[in-house]
């Protein structure tokens, strides 16, 4: 597989610098023992990001949603791997105590991929974005990652160059990301163009209408859809057999009965952007500001949609991880998946 390669075991263990008399250095990445065992056993694992509870949701709802997502996966027979940075250690599989601690800290760092070495070196806590979470999940060997909405191209990016690192990271990180599209505050058309430029496949789950996070249909069509977790798993396996480095993006729309009224959304977004511009909010501070403004503007309705979006993506991520694990088990046992793979590789 190309792209950002999974780490060797040494990357997850303490090591001393050659010729150094100092004690062992901290591991580059800590992977929880439960996650390591599950991966070694071929059991399904789903990565979860931490910014949803460090920056995306208000207290105390943030902690409740984070723990609910883990419980939801466990009840489905899937091992959750919540990813964040705790005391300078990028961690794949935060403990309940660590999640609780991070969810309660004010002014926590929002950690994208570029920030990982900085917060690690300075021993800081941080919530990981889609970019950093995808990178760490792939380093640990996790194939499926569920989130709420993706980052992308901001309006006015032709002048500001304001584009999320999610796009470039996903172009070089072969994970599978389940989301409800990109966040509604973004330029969705431009973001889809960037995904195309970076050869990132965007696949609707039972739809060819690209979702807009708060709404089921953003107004943009996509070329492909899959009808089941098993079909999604076949696409992922085909990507891996081809050795392609890009993520596979599964766009999973929120239930139409639970979306924000689409006819209201344009006005809500316009007011949010106007307030951000008035206060001079830009860069990575813009997304949490805008989402908070939308929540207040809608009287909390957007928060309920946000939570519903996340539940649906966690559920689908678990189902796809189970399908991938089943396909891998069948292949190793010489079942149909294994025979098909052997035939295509000429084995």
Which residues are the active-site residues?
A: 49, 183
| Local structure of residue 11 (DSSP, 8 states) | G
CA 282 to chain centre: 22
Is the separation of the CB atoms in 146 and 316 below 8 Å? yes
Instruction: Give whole-number Cα distances, 49 to 42, 66, 144, 150, in Å.
Output: 22, 9, 12, 11
Q: How far apart are CA 163 and CA 172, in angstroms?
A: 16
Please tell me whether residue 85 adopts helix, strand or coil conformation. Answer: strand
Q: How far apart are CA 237 and CA 239, in angstroms?
A: 5
Residue with tokens 């163009």: 193
Instruction: Give whole-number Cα distances, 19 to 27, 65, 209, 231, in Å.
Output: 18, 47, 58, 52
The residue ranges of DSSP E strands in the chain, in sequence order, are 30-31, 45-48, 79-86, 89-92, 109-111, 126-128, 144-146, 176-179, 202-205, 209-210, 220-221, 224-226, 248-251
- 251: β partners: 179, 204
The contacts of residue 248 (CB under 8 Å, 6+ apart) are: 174, 175, 176, 177, 200, 201, 203, 232, 235, 236, 239
- 226: β partners: 205
């Amino acid at each position: 597989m190309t792209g950002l390669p999974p780490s060797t075991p040494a990357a997850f263990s303490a090591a001393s610098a050659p010729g150094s008399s100092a004690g062992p250095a901290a591991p580059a990445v800590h992977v929880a023992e439960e996650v390591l065992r599950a991966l070694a056993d071929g059991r399904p694992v789903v990565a979860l990001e931490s910014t949803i509870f460090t920056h995306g949701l208000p207290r105390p709802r943030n902690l409740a949603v984070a723990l609910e997502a883990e419980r939801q996966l466990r009840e489905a027979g899937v091992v959750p791997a919540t990813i964040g940075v705790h005391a300078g250690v990028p961690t794949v599989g935060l403990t309940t105590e660590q999640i609780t601690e991070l969810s309660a800290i004010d002014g926590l760092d929002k950690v994208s991929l570029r920030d990982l070495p900085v917060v690690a070196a300075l021993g800081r806590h941080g919530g990981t974005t889609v970019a950093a979470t995808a990178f760490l999940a792939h380093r640990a060997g996790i194939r499926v990652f569920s989130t709420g909405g993706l980052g992308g191209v901001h309006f006015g990016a032709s002048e500001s160059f304001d584009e999320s690192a999610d796009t470039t990271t996903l172009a070089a990180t072969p994970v599978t990301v389940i989301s409800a599209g990109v966040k509604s505050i973004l330029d969705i058309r431009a973001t889809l163009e960037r995904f195309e430029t970076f050869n990132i496949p965007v696949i609707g789950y039972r739809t060819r209408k690209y979702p807009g996070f708060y709404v089921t249909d953003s107004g943009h069509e996509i070329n492909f859809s899959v009808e089941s977790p098993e079909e999604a798993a076949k696409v992922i396996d085909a990507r891996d057999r081809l050795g392609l480095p890009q993520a596979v993006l599964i766009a999973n729309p929120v239930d139409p009965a639970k979306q924000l009224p689409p006819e209201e959304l344009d006005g809500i977004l316009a007011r949010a952007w106007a307030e951000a511009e008035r206060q001079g909010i830009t860069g990575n501070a813009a997304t949490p500001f805008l989402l908070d403004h939308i929540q207040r503007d809608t009287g909390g309705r957007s928060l309920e949609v946000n939570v519903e979006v996340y539940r649906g993506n966690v559920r689908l991520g678990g189902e796809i991880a189970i399908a991938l694990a089943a396909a891998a088990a069948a292949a190793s046992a010489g079942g149909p998946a294994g025979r098909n793979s052997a035939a295509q590789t000429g084995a």
